[in-house]
Structure 1
Amino acid sequence: MATTRQVALVTGASSGIGKAAALALVAAGFTVVGTSRDTSRVAPSGGVTFLDLDVTSTESVTTVVQQVIEQSGRIDVLVNNAGLGAAGAAEESSLAQDQRLFDVNVFGLIRMTKAVLPRMRAQGGGRIINISSVLGFLPAPYMASYAASKHAIEGYSESLDHEVREHDVRVLLVQPAYTNTEFEANSLRADSPLPVYAQQRHIFDDMMAAAIKDGDDPAIVAKAVVSAATDPKPKLRYTAGPTAGRVSTLRRIIPARSFDKQIRKLNRLAG
């Protein structure tokens, strides 16, 4: 049944940033469909309808997008939020683990994007909002694969935005900093830990736990998502919160050598 209200589809909406974004879009007047890998574990929340989705499965992605179109007749906003974290030295993770991370964070996003684009072009517009990170433009020692996945999302999004803009479709990025979610608990741990990295890995783990505990509320990121979904003249990139904004500015204005030293200092790296 077609609806006159704008429809938003939010992946990974059962908790954290995805849940906050879905609820904020409901409050902004959207009909919102959220997804989770297992909706039987998701309690009803704030007017969001949930569907099961595995972003690593093309069949699952196609089925969910078709369900939304059949039920609502349209998809105006896609929020690609589903993702995995990963921690550990790059040498410590197997190639299979790195591929799993990319299959969710990058190829899952691409699957969803390819599935909704034909409908958005046919209806004469839409917005695809990809949840990136400040690690989409920063180096991240002991999170190399995760940072690489976010760098890939940045390049894909900006390039695609140029391709589809003439069809009144925009591809936009939201860049959070550390956010107070279950990110760390749900992150992949390196499957081949090496003693040579053990001490620095523990330092990183402690630093990450503290940063997330003191991180931004997911509602701050959700506010940026709503802005990306509703601004009459949207920006390509939305930094979410004051920390993300400061880091983005510093990245642009600080000389490369000085920035490199600061990264090492913040991560307590020798040399």
Structure 2
Amino acid sequence: MTMKKRKIALVTGASSGIGRATAELLAKAGYQVYGTSRRGAEANGGAFEMLPLDVTSDVSVDAAVGRLLQLEGRIDLLVNNAGFGVAPAGAEESSMEQARSIFDTNFFGLIRMTRAVLPHMRQQGSGRIINIGSVLGFLPMPYGALYAATKHAIEGYSESLDHELRTRGIRVSVIEPAYTKTPFDANLLEPDAKLEEYREIRTAVNQRVKEVMATADLPDVVAEVVLKAANATQPKLRYTAGGLASRLRLLRKYAPAGLVDAGIRKDLRLDAARGVK
């Protein structure tokens, strides 16, 4: 991109992991990138600028978007990446407060950001919104119900929004990674209402997830797919990121439901953990 035509990108949750890898790759590809985090830190080696932003706060979202528009006058690309997860546990082991908290960040935070940038993209007659989803948005993981629910919500919201906006020159895409090595996965919140009933299976599933994470994709894999979606002349609604994600998408689409069900239980060793033959 020439400086005259340089596009402006805003990436939430860009202090580490997928967000940082995405912001760095977009900058390398010629975008003028602004990342965000709640602290607004600038530990990015100068590849992109950072703005303070808390996606759970209307005031913070409006201030960050307003600041970016003041600096650049437009927003061409929004990457909604900010989010957190709860360590594998039974669905009832998270309080209602924790359930509301994860939705407020992962889903309602995405909505806040989208609502903040859309008026400006509509006025421009162009724009891209890319939401970082997950394979758990189409293939739920047992003992990950709340996180999977937020990703299902992102899938539905994104598909509806893309239909609404494409005639206005704006497209929406969802990126669906599988396991990815990021600080996000290393710092999952513990469930805040643990029950002894789930202790054994919770321990077993956590151990299995750690085993799988040892061979997980790096954040760069996801960032490359974000760039592909951002630059596509005719962007798709959904993009899987990585070989495992692609295989799971095909499995979900073509395999019999019973086979998928059995495969999930076998992979997570659910029945073995409970002594089921």
- Flag structure 2 segments of 5+ consecutive residues without an equivalent: none
Answer whether contact 1:24 1:222 (CA < 8 A) is retained: yes
**Deviating runs (4+, > 3 A) in structure 1?**
none
* Number of the residue aligned with 1:43: 43
Cα deviation, residue 186, structure 1: 2.1
| Aligned match of 1:21 | 22
Q: Which residue of 2 aligns with 1:132?
A: 133
Q: Determine the C-alpha separation between the residues in 1 that align with 2:124 and 2:28.
A: 24
Give the 3 Å change call, closer, same or farther, for CA 214–46 of structure 1 in structure 2.
farther
- Amino acid paired to 1:132: G
Tell me which residue corresponds to 1:116: 117
Report matched runs for 1:100-249 at 5 Å.
Answer: 100-249=101-250
How many residues matched? Answer: 269
Q: Cα distance, 1:256 vs. partner? A: 0.5
Maintained 8 Å contact 2:205/2:270: no
Deviation, 1:212, is 2.0
3-state SS, counterpart of residue 188 of structure 1: coil
How far off is 1:183 after superposition? 2.2
Equivalent-residue separation in structure 1 for 2:247 and 2:45 (angstroms): 33
Q: Matches of 1:254 and 1:21 in 2, distance apart?
A: 32
Structure 1 counterpart of 2:260: 259
Provide the rounded CA distance (Å) in 2 between the counterparts of 1:185 and 1:94. 22
Instruction: Tell me if 1:98 matches 2:99.
Output: yes
Instruction: Letter of the 2:156 partner, please give it.
Output: G
The alignment status of 1:67 with 2:71, answered yes or no, reads no
RMSD of the alignment, in Å? 1.2
Q: What percent of counterpart residues are identical?
A: 54
Q: 1:47-91 deviations in whole A, cap 9, x for unaligned? A: 210000000000100010111111011100000000011121101
Taking the aligned partners of 2:44 and 2:104, their CA distance within structure 1 comes to 28
Q: Which moved more, 1:12-21 or 1:211-220?
A: 211-220
Within 2, Cα distance between the matches of 1:35 and 1:234? 25
Say which SS state the counterpart of residue 118 (structure 1) adopts: helix
Q: Find the residue that maps to 1:39 and give its secondary structure.
A: coil
Q: Hey, what's the Cα distance between the residues in 1 that align with 2:175 and 2:44?
A: 26
CA contact (8 A) 1:3 1:73 kept: no
Deviation at 1:3, TM superposition (A): 6.3
DSSP 3-state at the match of 1:54 = coil
Task: Measure, in 2, the Cα distance between the counterparts of 1:44 and 1:253.
Answer: 42
Q: Give, in whole Å, the separation in 2 of the partners of 1:200 and 1:194.
A: 11
SS at structure 1 position matched to 2:269? coil
- TM-score normalised by structure 2 residue count: 0.95
Query: Aligned partners of 1:45 and 1:237: how far apart in 2?
Result: 31
Q: SS of the residue aligned with 2:185?
A: coil
| Cα distance in 2 between the residues matched to 1:248 and 1:44 | 33
Distance, in Å, in 2 between the alignment partners of 1:255 and 1:188 is: 34
Deviation at 1:207? 1.4
User: Is 205-214 or 56-65 further displaced after alignment?
Assistant: 205-214
CA-to-aligned-CA distance 1:130-163 (integer Å, 9 cap, x gap)? 0000000012111100000000000000001000
60-69 vs 178-187, which deviates more?
178-187
Number of the residue aligned with 1:80: 80
